[in-house]
């Protein structure tokens, strides 16, 4: 990782559907070039249409996930894998089932490990031995987080247990039932873990991401906007819709 500031390749498309389709094309191209690719995968609303587009491309033929492996960015501490809001459940529903990928080839941190710190260390070791990740897919939090690396995260951080920013907990509350406790901790890949990937693909759509996109691409590189650390990587592609790109000056 160099301290030099690199400019990511930015693609701006008309709407979220076009951005999702383009992101799926990048993933499909990676699988065509390297059928045994190691994919770094993400969750969240932005990824649902991306994975749906990828599933359609797989169904059309020419690419498959039979030899691929994946590592997910994060998981909530305290949620069992069958909980509807666990990221394992999300990945099974939105990725494994529609694409036909074997869930056994998809590694995620365990949210119910007796010792979350030891689980974070296990996961980082698995990444080191199973990687490097060929293509790391990322979403973008409204406060600039990637994975669950909230503002204040160090560029040197590795997979660890984190306490979620109150804004993130509030943003996530809509996914949980009335009166259901929203997890306040998660296990997440760190910034340095993410930057170890060969190539990074970040997708952001909607007006709620515009300020974070501007901070990521135009603001100072530093912990106030964790996504800004992506400018230290040589191979980053950012795909936006017009709403998410609205605050970028030419």
Of 150, 165, 233, 241, which is the active-site residue? 150
Question: What is the SS3 assignment for 176?
Answer: coil
CB-CB contact of 7 with 229 (8 Å): no
Of 22, 74, 134, 241, which is the active-site residue? 74
Question: What is the SS3 assignment for 242?
Answer: coil
Q: Mark whether 74 is an active-site residue.
A: yes
Distance CA 60, CA 215 (A): 38
- Count other Cβ atoms within 10 Å, centred on residue 229: 24
Of 22, 145, 233, 241, which is the active-site residue? 145
- As given in the structure block, the two tokens for residue 62 are 């020419």
Distance CA 52, CA 92 (A): 13
Of 75, 94, 134, 143, which is the active-site residue? 143
Q: Mark whether 4 is an active-site residue.
A: no
Q: Mark whether 150 is an active-site residue.
A: yes
Q: Mark whether 33 is an active-site residue.
A: no
Q: Report, as residue numbers or ranges, the catalytic residues.
A: 74, 143, 145, 150
């Amino acid at each position: 990782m160099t301290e030099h500031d690199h400019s990511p390749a930015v693609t701006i498309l008309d709407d979220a559907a076009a951005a999702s389709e383009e992101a799926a094309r990048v993933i499909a191209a990676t699988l065509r070039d390297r059928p045994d690719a190691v994919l770094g995968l993400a969750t969240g609303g932005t990824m649902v249409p991306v994975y749906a587009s990828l599933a359609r491309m797989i169904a059309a033929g020419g690419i498959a996930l039979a030899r691929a492996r994946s590592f997910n960015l994060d998981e909530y501490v305290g949620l069992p894998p069958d909980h509807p809001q666990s990221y394992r459940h999300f990945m099974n529903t939105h990725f494994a089932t529609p694409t036909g990928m074997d869930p056994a080839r998809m590694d995620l941190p365990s949210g119910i490990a007796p010792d979350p710190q030891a689980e974070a260390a296990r996961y980082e070791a698995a990444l080191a031995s199973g990687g490097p990740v060929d293509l790391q897919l990322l979403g973008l939090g409204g406060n600039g987080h990637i994975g669950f690396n909230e503002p204040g995260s160090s560029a040197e951080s590795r997979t660890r247990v984190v306490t979620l920013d109150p804004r993130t907990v509030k943003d996530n509350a809509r996914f949980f039932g009335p009166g259901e406790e929203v997890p306040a901790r998660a296990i997440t890949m760190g910034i340095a873990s993410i930057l170890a990937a060969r190539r990074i693909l970040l997708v952001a759509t909607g007006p709620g991401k515009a300020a974070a996109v501007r901070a990521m691409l135009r603001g100072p590189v530093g912990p106030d906007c964790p996504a800004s650390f992506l400018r230290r990587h040589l191979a980053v592609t950012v795909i936006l819709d017009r709403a998410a790109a609205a605050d970028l000056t030419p």
